[in-house]
Chain A
Amino acid sequence: MWAPMGRGRWHGCAHTVWATAAAHRGILEPRPMATRGAAAKSRSQDRLYSSADRKEKIDMSRFSVENIRNFSIIAHVDHGKSTLADRLLELTGTIDKTKNNKQVLDKLQVERERGITVKAQTASLFYNYEGKQYLLNLIDTPGHVDFSYEVSRSLSACQGVLLVVDANEGIQAQTVANFFLAFEAQLSVIPVINKIDLKNADPERVEKQIEKVFDIPTDECIKISAKLGTNVERVLQAVIERIPPPRVHRKNPLKALVFDSTFDQYRGVIANVALFDGVVSKGDKIVSAHTKKTYEVNEVGVLNPNEQPTHKLYAGQVGYLIAGMKDVTEAQIGDTLYLQKQPVEPLPGFKSAKPMVFAGMYPIDQSEYNNLKSAVEKLTINDSSVTVHRDSSLALGAGWRLGFLGLLHMEVFNQRLEQEYNASVILTTPTVPYKAVLSSAKLIKEYREKEITIINPAQFPDKSKVTEYLEPVVLGTIITPDEYTGKIMMLCQARRAVQKNMIYIDQNRVMLKYLFPLNEIVVDFYDSLKSLSSGYASFDYEDAGYQTAELVKMDILLNGNLVEELVTIVHKDKAHSVGKAICERLKDSLPRQLFEIAIQAAIGSKIIARETVKAYRKNVLAKCYGGDITRKMKLLKRQAEGKKKLRKIGNIEVPKDAFIKVLRTQPDK
């Protein structure tokens, strides 16, 4: 079930939606980010409370395993997942129906702007059906590819999913990715066609797409309007009828999966857990299988959706647990908790988050370094998946090299820094982790391994000491109206992608599968795809390990002098275009000097691109009369002072701005 794919760094399938800078246009799936718990506190203030009294503890023992269903809702962005969740919560009395429940989740500024949800919502619903009281646990999953590992962990706590598809838009790339993720996890899939109230809704066409692509009979689709509440009751009934209860044993020793965690500054870490076996209650001594640390449980409870303490949690149930953990790294997603006196085999598939996109982060002004440092520390308290290494650049000063799960993750982090901590930063163009298989015995001894990961271009080993270089690849799914197929295929080819599959999912919609080098999509692929398909094509990808690649180290030279901060690792086929782009950007940002400057991109001794900055022909204030020398002298002296601070490469003076313009992530507009 959790077999790694290829040489994948991420276990299981890393499905979900892809998003880039376009996210703010609302293309992103409203997806939670795991362990982004800053929202936790404000959420509990704004959330609509259930009618149940917080202080009166619920006895969870009355819900036997047969009456429990654990499920998730998965959907492409804007297909109505959150609205459906709200209706389900209302129907089960979890939240008040009279209130206008428009996406109950409290949102961070960045979430509102981007139409994404950074924090997951999990809720226990109590529902009476045919005379029996059921406990339905809605486990929200982070859907974005950046958080694919978290998704897989969340789904492992479920037995079924509601796959929501828009009756107008039909199947989109993320629908496909989500389906296969659930399918491979052997979960029951209930297709739900939403928005049937829309004028252009064509649920029959969507039924056929679902049959063709997922091989699910058309009569299994439930057609609803979450907005109007039409047929939503049927969804709840299907959850009970079609999703099996969890296969767990209350009598076995405790085995609990951590599938999310948040940090509360008063109560410490709040871990969301799913119990696979056993029982847990206040006072129990538990151990983290990952850290081997022991904790005493202070509080257990269910989420509906606010935290509601219970006496105990039993096998098959989902809830939260507070046990004096001080740091989110102590409750990592995928970890197994067990009783100190009854150790168990941990659940399979645990992995620490591995960053896949790296970027340098520097304060715009070095005097801001300490403020930025404290802001980064505060943000990483809640997000253990960001790796932070101190770094310094001759041009940009002291900063950090940060590792993110993906591009969205990086952007969310950056936005939160700017919006919540008012910190302005220079973020350098993202890079991906390359690998090299070493052939030099000396190097192997030095690194103590044969295969090394290269994050910094300075570490790039020479070709003579290497058997092969490897680059990370992903399997991308694109769904598009067929009129754009030609343009999209050309785009993919230009990105060194290899076509794996192409099928018509209905009369005029095509699903394309391509194997992409990850670095070809980290910068602007999604934007290009959206613009050449007038916004109609959708894209998603999953991790596909590493492949051999002809990588080269490209140097940038100014009049023959190497510019260390601009050394780049690039695929041989892309060296010319990348080199040319860097040279052009430098040309636009280097001020003229008293001599001509040759800007060159070189691989070894071979020059592959060149631009020239002409020498100054005139730089003198024409008129200097009236005896007002003071102002002129002040200006000259200020310039001379500024000149001292410029970075000298050979005899060329390079202002910090020039580096920033070349290194920083290009604005998305």
Chain B
Amino acid sequence: MALPGTRARGWAAAAKMAQRRRHAEAARGSPSRASQGSRAALYVHWPYCEKRCSYCNFNKYIPRGVEEAAMRSCLVTEAQTLLRLSGVQRVESVFFGGGTPSLASPNTVAAVLEAVDQISHLPADSEVTLEANPTSASGSKLAAFGAAGVNRLSIGLQSLDDTELRLLGRTHSASDALQTLAEARRLFPGRVSVDLMLGLPAQQVQRGTLPAPDPELTAEMYQEGRAVLREAGFRQYEVSNFARNGALSTHNWTYWQCGQYLGIGPGAHGRFVLQGAGGHTREARIQTLEPDNWMKEVMLFGHGTRRRVPLGQLELLEEVLAMGLRTDVGITHQHWQQFEPQLNLWDVFGASREVKALLAQGLLLLDHRGLRCSWEGLAVLDSLLLTLLPRLQEAWQQRTPSPVQGG
């Protein structure tokens, strides 16, 4: 498995261009969904961590020794399998998540990207993100990931307080984190994101002297945080995502817009339409959870998909609603129409007394652009959905069935 050296160098160069493209898309609202059947995002799950963090309930394992070559080969096989099944012709983003994918070797990353580009097409400007932990990612290693094709970093900072970091069971200190961040910004200018947590046991809002965190305090931190970020020029493009200079995560945006995505690696989720006969039904797919079993299955059967659940049209619309409203753009009429051409947003929500109350309260907006949360509404989206989801179900049941429905 040769390193795609020349290609990899091309990635880093393409970064600036890709960023410019995203600027333009973000300004338009949402990335185009045209010919979506042939496009997808790809999620790659690296299931291993050095150490268990006290807060994390993701699917991860602390191995005694990782058989990386085997894992690499399985990830490549699975990527090939799913890309063929889905008939995806263009992969617009790749996200290496975990676990701690920065513990993997850059070789592995390069091998997966190479496989993707061979079966499908991975344009040079596609977003390729790697999650990195401060201690497992030295400057030279980050550079090697860059050479392997990664063009965006997501750093698991979590906190800049050593006491909190210890509480969380993180392996790094605040100064480690800042050093890694500086390296990352040097290597991936404009393409670095960080994860931060709020509501930790000892955290306090600057001015307040409130006791231990409670929902009220967490709410205050959230409101304070988003206000501070707004002032600093960040756009809150999703409930918990903020970006400056249009550096939105294309990959995550695909989730919220209910685009197609393939998930490979232990426990990875995907949602896509199968190529071929009756290829209208979108499936929710989950890969086998435990790394050893997953690898065994991939080696034996060529794939590690454990469960396939076909999504009904209503279920898909529920996801479009619940995910779309997480973004600042919300659900545009055009976006909705791509999923449901018969029943528009006005038909569904326009007449409901309860929805009208939410509109009157200024939590929700329904206008010529579409349906979206207000600044205040975004913070209480889960409450809004408890009104909107039943309303959608009701409208769906009352719709005039179209003769081609379910065809």
Interface of A toward B, CB cutoff 8 Å? 592-595, 614, 616-630, 632-633, 636-637, 639-640, 643-644, 651
Q: How far is the CA of A633 from the CA of B222 in the complex (A)?
A: 23
CB distance from B212 to the nearest CB of A (A): 17
Instruction: Supply 20 A–B pairs (Cβ within 8 Å), ascending by A.
Output: A593-B383, A594-B358, A618-B219, A618-B223, A618-B379, A618-B380, A619-B379, A620-B379, A621-B239, A624-B240, A625-B97, A625-B255, A626-B45, A626-B269, A627-B43, A629-B269, A630-B284, A637-B389, A640-B390, A644-B390
- The reply to whether the CB of B248 lies closer than 8 angstroms to some CB of chain A is no
Pick from A614, A627, A636: contact of B268, CB under 8 Å: A627
- The reply to whether the CB of B263 lies closer than 8 angstroms to some CB of chain A is yes
Residues of A within 8 A of B378 (CB): 620
- Contact count A vs B, C-beta below 8 Å: 101
Asked if B223 and A617 sit within 8 Å, CB to CB, the answer is yes
Residues of B within 8 A of A619 (CB): 379-383
| Stretch of B23-31, B72-80, B175-183, B317-325 at the chain-chain interface | B317-325
Asked if B386 and A618 sit within 8 Å, CB to CB, the answer is no
Q: Please give me the residue from chain B that is nearest to A653 by CB atom.
A: B386
Asked if A627 and B222 sit within 8 Å, CB to CB, the answer is no
Pick from A618, A624, A639: contact of B326, CB under 8 Å: A624
Q: Please give me the residue from chain A that is nearest to B325 by CB atom.
A: A620
CB distance from A220 to the nearest CB of B (A): 67
Residues of A within 8 A of B323 (CB): 624, 629
Interface of B toward A, CB cutoff 8 Å? 43, 45, 58, 97, 198, 215-216, 218-220, 222-223, 239-240, 252, 255, 261, 263, 268-271, 284, 309, 315, 318-319, 322-323, 326, 357-358, 361, 363, 378-386, 389-390
Residues of A within 8 A of B255 (CB): 624-625, 627, 629
Pick from A623, A628, A639, A640: contact of B269, CB under 8 Å: A628
Asked if B270 and A640 sit within 8 Å, CB to CB, the answer is no
Q: How far is the CA of A45 from the CA of B390 in the complex (A)?
A: 61
Q: A594-B358, A618-B218, A636-B386 are in contact. Are A629 and B379 (CB under 8 A)?
A: no
Residue among A595, A614, A630 facing the most chain B CB atoms (10 A cut-off) = A630
Asked if A633 and B269 sit within 8 Å, CB to CB, the answer is no
Q: How far is the CA of A632 from the CA of B255 in the complex (A)?
A: 13
Asked if A633 and B223 sit within 8 Å, CB to CB, the answer is no
Asked if B318 and A633 sit within 8 Å, CB to CB, the answer is yes
Pick from B223, B322, B379: contact of A632, CB under 8 Å: B322
Q: How far is the CA of A637 from the CA of B388 in the complex (A)?
A: 11
CB distance from A231 to the nearest CB of B (A): 65
Residues of A within 8 A of B263 (CB): 627
Residues of A within 8 A of B218 (CB): 618
Asked if A617 and B322 sit within 8 Å, CB to CB, the answer is no
Q: How far is the CA of A624 from the CA of B378 in the complex (A)?
A: 14
Asked if B386 and A640 sit within 8 Å, CB to CB, the answer is yes
Asked if A620 and B223 sit within 8 Å, CB to CB, the answer is no
CB distance from A76 to the nearest CB of B (A): 49
Residues of B within 8 A of A629 (CB): 255, 269, 271, 284, 319, 322-323
Residues of A within 8 A of B318 (CB): 633, 637
Asked if A617 and B269 sit within 8 Å, CB to CB, the answer is no
Q: A616-B383, A618-B222, A623-B240 are in contact. Are A640 and B284 (CB under 8 A)?
A: no
Residues of B within 8 A of A617 (CB): 216, 219-220, 222-223, 379-380
Q: Please give me the residue from chain A that is nearest to B195 by CB atom.
A: A623
Residues of B within 8 A of A651 (CB): 357
Residues of B within 8 A of A614 (CB): 216
CB distance from B132 to the nearest CB of A (A): 15
Asked if B386 and A639 sit within 8 Å, CB to CB, the answer is yes
* Other A-B pairs, 5, CB within 8 Å; known A593-B383, A639-B386: A594-B363, A616-B219, A624-B323, A633-B315, A636-B322
Residues of B within 8 A of A632 (CB): 322
CB distance from B307 to the nearest CB of A (A): 10
Q: How far is the CA of A306 from the CA of B28 in the complex (A)?
A: 94
Pick from B58, B284, B326, B361: contact of A594, CB under 8 Å: B361
Q: How far is the CA of A623 from the CA of B386 in the complex (A)?
A: 18
Asked if A622 and B240 sit within 8 Å, CB to CB, the answer is yes
Residues of B within 8 A of A644 (CB): 390
Q: How far is the CA of A495 from the CA of B315 in the complex (A)?
A: 60
Q: How far is the CA of A633 from the CA of B220 in the complex (A)?
A: 26
Residues of A within 8 A of B379 (CB): 617-620
Residue among A626, A627, A628 facing the most chain B CB atoms (10 A cut-off) = A627
Q: How far is the CA of A651 from the CA of B358 in the complex (A)?
A: 12
Residues of A within 8 A of B309 (CB): 630
